[in-house]
Amino acid sequence: MDDPDASHEPYDERRRSLEAERVRTAEWVRDLVKYLDAAITIPGTNVSIGLDPIIGFFAPVIGDWVGAGAALILLWVAFQHRVPPVIIARMLLNVLVDGLLGMIPVAGDVFDVAFQANRRNLDLLERHQREGKPRPVDYVVVVLAALVVLALAALPVVVVALVIRWLSS
């Protein structure tokens, strides 16, 4: 009679292979984030600075593109790991905030050092791998961000309406 466990061997081997690939992916992703957000610790402080703000300071446009490229890589890894859409939305928000505020000369570079969007996104990705499901705060952050976007989109309409009202009185 055949061994009943023998039929599961290919499945178990495939599962072990996928787990090993996830660990390897996590290692190179952590290395990438470290170099971009926290490659160097400023002596005498707990402040780390990475290549993203350094490149952004000396070559503003190139630095923004480097940061965007890293963000896309992290999002690609998140899609591969089947991260829920709400967590991917949070990751996109981090990238958007980093990109918009990071464009401000000098102050944006200081913001990049403090905010570290890639580190935040890696934390979200690793938390998903540990917990497997989104937290309520993930939904709250995404809903609040959507409300802010809607308010900002409505602002020009309100301003134009107020100007027209003022001009017509």
Distance CA 36, CA 42 (A): 15
Task: Give the pLDDT score at 106.
Answer: 82
Q: What is the pLDDT along the chain (169 residues), one digit of tens a residue?
A: 555 555 556 666 666 665 655 656 678 888 999 998 888 888 999 888 988 888 888 887 777 777 778 888 888 998 888 889 999 999 999 988 888 888 788 888 888 888 999 999 999 998 888 888 898 998 998 899 889 888 888 888 889 999 999 999 8
> Would you state the pLDDT for residue 124?
92
In the block, residue with structure tokens 């900002």: 152
> How long is the chain?
169
Residue in 50, 56, 47 with CA at minimum distance from that of residue 34 = 50
Residue 82: its pLDDT value, please?
Answer: 86
Six-digit token pair at 52? 């993203």
The pLDDT of residue 140: 92
Cα separation, 117 vs 36, whole angstroms: 10
Asked if 81 and 129 count as a contact pair (C-beta separation under 8 A), the reply is yes
pLDDT, position 152: 85
pLDDT of residue 16: 63
What is the pLDDT at residue 59? Answer: 81
Per-residue model confidence (pLDDT) at position 17:
61
pTM: 0.72
Task: Check residue 12 and give its pLDDT.
Answer: 64
